[in-house]
Structure 1
Amino acid sequence: MTQGGESRKEATKPRNLSTRKTTRLGTWNVRTMYEAGKALHVAREMEGYQLDILGLCETRWTTAGECQLASVETVLYSGHLEENSRHTEGVGILLSTHAKRVLIGWKAEGPRQISAEFRSQKKDINLHVIQGYATTNDKDQDVKETFYKMLKNTIDQVRRKDILILMGDFNAKVGSDNVGFEEIIGKHGLVVRNENGELFAEICATNGLVIGGTVFPHKQIHKSTWASPDQQTENQIDHMCQQEIQGINEGFRYNVEFLREPSSREEFNVAVKNRFQVLETLGEDSSVEETWEAIKKGWTTVCQEVQGKRKREHKPWISVTTLRKIEERKKKKDQVNRSKTRAGKAKAQEEYTKAMKEVKVSVRKDKRNYVDDLARGAEEAAGAGNMRGLYETTKKLAGRYKNAGVPVKDKDGKLLTNPDEQKERWKEHFKELLSRPRPENSLTFHQQRLIWG
């Protein structure tokens, strides 16, 4: 038996997300789907990027439902449920024929959230996709908390062993400073974290979701997900998050700086020679696997005993008290992961949330004290006439300078992207600026000196 609209060939295809085929997901704020031809245009873009699942924000469709496009893709959508409501907000999920075939079910959560569940080839493990559309940063706190409370309820319904993907336009700037959120935010975000970013980071940390766009280094143009109409302001407010399948923290690394000193190198060489003398006792009958395991164990043992683990470098302004709070928060997180019962997990989660807030408060306090100390040092250096000390302190206060990349335009306002054209425009600008005629009422230096004299 086949489902409606399926051929016999289609019905016999695998009905789960294959591990041999890469399943591509994406999210896009389309601004509107409530215009003629926009749905087919979005479907063509989805096909061009070879996506199987595309989350949509600001669809502006009302009510909730499911429909199939003329290009065979399926749209799951959720909007305002009230009758005669305005065409605002709205979210959706666009599915390819393959994704539609493995769809288990979906749920509409109003105009700002929709979720769907899919089968995978792994036995008894499903894929859950949640598409969200958060309010802007200037909205009331109550509205924001309502959105994240609803989002938390949806996440709590996902089984722990299932795969969870959270994506959408959260209007959240998480920034590049990941102090206090090292487990879920990388160091490659944009600008500075705002209030929406704090809320978004908290729910990701609470549920073990890594914000993917901040983990790996990318070009500036690939980091930003939104640009102002004049192309002068770029933000990273759309995000895709997944569970901590692989950690974003650095793995175990040895203290290679130890080998820079000749005496330390000699100590290391002696330890390696002693270890490999023991390996010579292996018989000729030993297999390749046994020999390799013995060699690997020998190297790792020597590195651990002689070099030791490389110490992690922290920000200079983080206090010992804050570091202890961070370690305590990690222990609370482990308790959440080890909890077996729902009540135990809820209690552990409450303690972890409390510990996370304590870390954030302590980090802010340390940074404020650090900046105050630098300001006092700059003031003292200026009073004592210590220009060198004042300069060094000012550099620390200002941080790294980054060119804002102001666009160069010609006289007609056309944007110039070619470097040679930009240089010519700068040359032309300074030539006009420095070759301007002297104002008629201006006085020479000699005349001014006579008048003032």
Structure 2
Amino acid sequence: MHDKDDSNRPERRSALIALELYRLDIDIAALSEVRFSEEGNLQEHGAGYTLFWPGRPATEGNHSGVGLMIKTSIASTLESLPTGHSDSIMSLRLPLKNKEYATILSVYAPTLQAKSEEKDRFYSELRHVLRRTPPADKMIILGDFNARVGQDADTWRGVLVRHGVGNCNDNGRLLLEICMELQLVITNTVFQLKTTWMHPRSRHWHLMDYILYRQRDLRDVLHTRVMPSAECHTDHRLVRFRIRIRPKPITRKGGPPRKKYNHSRLQSDEVKAVFQASLQNKFKKRQ
């Protein structure tokens, strides 16, 4: 999600974004152009989300920046805080059921006009992070890649599927190459989607925001779709991604353990009668 010129926007955009994510029931959102200095986090108590960001030192200014906004209930299950690898790449390792994990990245790639050195540095950092990810982890990369990947599914088999959009540009080729190298699929092309960003001068719509996933785990993906109704004061449309994974259950701290009941015994008329009589006696004593 990105800034856009809007003199009426609220002072705390993070609060607005959190409320919108709550309305749409989004568990984890990747944000771009957060523009906060230093590393930090901020809780939006009203909506129940926590924003994490890496940031640059205050002396360097803030030209890009990424972040992750996570339901606070999910953030409380993390074994470690999200990691900022640069102001353009941030990751978290989410514990799942059965001792599995999902590594989730929020990224913001250089624009088409950026210098080639800046693009090379970004993709070198991204490769480094992805290669260090444990091979057994589910891997989800979310973000604005400032790239058009086109629709040549024959050349980029396994990376692009049948619903690519438009033509490929130089940034798109860089993205396709790293996906081919690391066996990632661009899930936007698995489903027929709307575009995500409109060029301010040409007024043409393009697909620029992508969600990448391991090809071997593609069966986990339920859908990737664009949410035109989401209003977070951004000039990009929100892309929603649903997968078939289960986060680690939240462990209650303190208090007695929950009692377990054998409900199947209530199928016996005799047991059911005794249970109903017991309940009635308890209610009479409280009156």
* Same fold, judged at TM 0.5 (above): yes
Identity %: 25
Please, which of 207, 214, 232 is the counterpart of residue 203 of structure 2? 232
Instruction: Find the aligned partners of 1:91 and 1:160 in 2 and give their Cα distance.
Output: 24
5+ residue gaps, structure 2: 220-287
Please, which of 154, 165, 187 is the counterpart of residue 179 of structure 1? 154
Partner residue in 2 for 1:115: 91
Please, which of 191, 198, 206 is the counterpart of residue 181 of structure 2? 206
Aligned-residue Cα RMSD (Å) equals 2.1
Partner residue in 2 for 1:335: none
1:363-392 Cα distance to aligned partner (Å, 9 max, x none): xxxxxxxxxxxxxxxxxxxxxxxxxxxxxx
| Cα distance change on mapping 1:31 and 1:165 into 2, 3 Å | farther
Instruction: Tell me by how many angstroms 1:169 deviates.
Output: 0.4
| Cα distance change on mapping 1:182 and 1:228 into 2, 3 Å | same
Instruction: Find the aligned partners of 1:89 and 1:174 in 2 and give their Cα distance.
Output: 22
| Equivalent residues in 2 for 1:140-179, closer than 5 Å | 140-179=115-154
Query: Conserved in 2, the CA contact under 8 Å of 1:73 and 1:95?
Result: yes
Instruction: Tell me by how many angstroms 1:30 deviates.
Output: 4.7
Partner residue in 2 for 1:414: none
Query: Conserved in 2, the CA contact under 8 Å of 1:173 and 1:235?
Result: yes
| Cα distance change on mapping 1:30 and 1:162 into 2, 3 Å | farther
Q: What is the number of residues matched between the two proteins?
A: 214
Structure 1 length-normalised TM? 0.45
Query: Conserved in 2, the CA contact under 8 Å of 1:78 and 1:110?
Result: yes
1:40-77 Cα distance to aligned partner (Å, 9 max, x none): 11101111111110000001111111221232311110
Structure 2 length-normalised TM? 0.70
What SS is found at the alignment partner of 2:60? coil
Instruction: Find the aligned partners of 1:35 and 1:170 in 2 and give their Cα distance.
Output: 27
Q: Are 1:29 and 2:5 counterparts? A: no
What SS is found at the alignment partner of 1:61? coil
5+ residue gaps, structure 1: 1-27, 248-453
Instruction: Tell me by how many angstroms 1:35 deviates.
Output: 6.9
| Equivalent residues in 2 for 1:272-287, closer than 5 Å | none
**Structure number with bigger Rg:** 1
Q: Are 1:243 and 2:214 counterparts? A: yes
| Equivalent residues in 2 for 1:123-134, closer than 5 Å | 123=99, 125-134=100-109
- Matched residue type, 1:233: H
Please, which of 100, 112, 115 is the counterpart of residue 75 of structure 2? 100
| Cα distance change on mapping 1:87 and 1:143 into 2, 3 Å | closer
Instruction: Find the aligned partners of 1:171 and 1:60 in 2 and give their Cα distance.
Output: 17
Instruction: Find the aligned partners of 1:94 and 1:231 in 2 and give their Cα distance.
Output: 32
Which of the two has greater strand per residue? 2
Instruction: Find the aligned partners of 2:214 and 2:31 in 1 and give their Cα distance.
Output: 21
Name which structure has the greater RCO, CA cutoff 8 Å, separation 6+.
2
